[in-house]
């Protein structure tokens, strides 16, 4: 019998926020194995681990850490609110603090843990400029020239929000990919369908760029809350029901704050065999 044990491979964590699930690799020390091919292989729910986004923690010069996001199709994402909450919670535990700052593609963001254990992220100011979202030059992000009069909002990644009579009955799998790939969006887009269900209360379903239907999307929830306020449907503080639960959004002077639960499911290692086969 062969009793020689293989050395453990690459460590990773599995986390989720409202069922929006993540593989998290801490690459602050040691080798950095992350490539588009690794993201795709790990994101395969049958032959890999499975995730909506891969989050990679890297060192930072001027904040507590840098956070990088990948979709399960191997593309990069500039923002991910739910993974920011999950990793923020993990890092606050490591640092023994209730607040920290981290760097993403769009700059420094803040994370805070509340007394109830939920984590809030300041996702920064919404981006409403066509070139920066981005949407095709010459189109008005506040009223995109598509059926349903959607509005585009950037949160470090692009979102296209439709207000509909009943978000439950939208054919998300049919319409989502068509809008994701519409030529109006030079970098594709995340797609949200939202319904006002009460005063300052929204129901939202999401089709994510590079990942498809997910149970929640933090940045999409922020973008939807901003869009609802801009359309005069809500105030600046709203509750948003997504498939996986509820997020609280508060659009303040210093940015859009998003609050919700986090879960660290397990920590494990990728085997050298899995990594070698990529």
Ligand X SMILES: N[C@H](CCC[C@H](N)C(=O)O)C(=O)O
Give catalytic residues, as residue numbers: 80, 217
CB of 46 to ligand X, least distance (A): 20
Q: 81 or 261, CB closer to ligand X?
A: 81
Please check whether residue 217 is in contact with residue 81, taking contact to mean a CB–CB distance below 8 angstroms: yes
CB of 248 to ligand X, least distance (A): 14
Ligand-binding annotation for 2, yes or no, is no
Place of tokens 């890297």: 58
Ligand-binding annotation for 71, yes or no, is yes
- Mention every residue, 6+ apart, whose C-beta is less than 8 A from residue 4: none
Q: 203 or 209, CB closer to ligand X?
A: 209
- For residue 154, give both structure tokens: 């950037």
Ligand-binding annotation for 81, yes or no, is yes
- Mention every residue, 6+ apart, whose C-beta is less than 8 A from residue 254: 122
CA atoms within 13 A on the CB side of 199: 0
Q: 9 or 78, CB closer to ligand X?
A: 78
Residues that bind ligand X (CB under 6 A): 20, 52-53, 71, 77, 79-82, 157, 190, 208-211, 214, 217-219
Ligand-binding annotation for 122, yes or no, is no
Q: 130 or 217, CB closer to ligand X?
A: 217
CB of 200 to ligand X, least distance (A): 21
> How many Å apart are CA 203 and CA 274, to the nearest integer?
40
Ligand-binding annotation for 53, yes or no, is yes
- Mention every residue, 6+ apart, whose C-beta is less than 8 A from residue 61: none
β strands within the chain, DSSP E:
10-17, 20-26, 53-58, 65-71, 76-77, 99-104, 107-113, 119-122, 151-154, 158-163, 190-198, 201-208, 212-214, 237-242, 245-252, 255-260, 263-270
- DSSP H helices, the chain, are 36-43, 81-95, 172-180, 218-230, 272-276
Q: Which region holds residue 214: left if phi is over 0, alpha if psi is between -120 and 50, else beta?
A: beta
CB of 42 to ligand X, least distance (A): 15
CB of 53 to ligand X, least distance (A): 6
User: Of how many residues is the chain composed?
Assistant: 278
Q: 71 or 224, CB closer to ligand X?
A: 71
Binding residue ranges: 20, 53, 71, 81-82, 157, 190, 208-209, 218-219
Binding residue ranges for substrate: 20, 53, 71, 81-82, 157, 190, 208-209, 218-219
């Amino acid at each position: 019998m062969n009793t020689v044990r293989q050395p453990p491979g690459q460590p990773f964590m599995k986390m989720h926020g409202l069922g929006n699930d993540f593989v998290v690799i801490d690459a602050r020390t040691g080798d950095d194995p992350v490539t588009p091919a690794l993201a795709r292989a790990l994101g395969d729910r049958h032959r890999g681990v499975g995730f909506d986004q891969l989050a990679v923690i890297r060192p930072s010069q001027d904040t507590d850490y840098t956070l990088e996001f990948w979709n399960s199709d191997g593309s990069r994402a500039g923002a991910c609110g739910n993974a920011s909450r999950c990793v923020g919670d993990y890092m606050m535990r490591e640092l023994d603090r209730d607040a920290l700052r981290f760097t993403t593609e769009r700059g420094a963001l803040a994370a805070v843990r509340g007394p109830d254990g939920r984590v809030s992220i300041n996702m920064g100011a919404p981006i409403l400029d066509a070139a920066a979202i981005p949407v095709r030059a010459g189109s008005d992000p506040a009223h995109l020239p598509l059926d349903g009069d959607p509005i585009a909002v950037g949160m470090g990644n692009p979102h296209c929000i439709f207000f509909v009579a009943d978000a439950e009955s939208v054919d998300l799998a049919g319409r989502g990919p068509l809008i994701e790939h519409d030529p109006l969006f030079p970098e594709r887009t995340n797609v949200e369908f939202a319904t006002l269900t009460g005063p300052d209360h929204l129901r939202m379903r999401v089709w994510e760029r590079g990942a498809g239907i997910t149970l929640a999307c933090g940045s999409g929830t922020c973008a939807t809350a901003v869009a609802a306020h801009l359309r005069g449907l809500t105030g600046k503080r709203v509750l948003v029901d997504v498939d996986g639960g509820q997020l609280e959004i508060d659009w303040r002077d210093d940015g859009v704050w998003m609050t919700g639960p986090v879960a660290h499911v397990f920590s494990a290692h990728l085997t050298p065999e899995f990594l070698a086969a990529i």
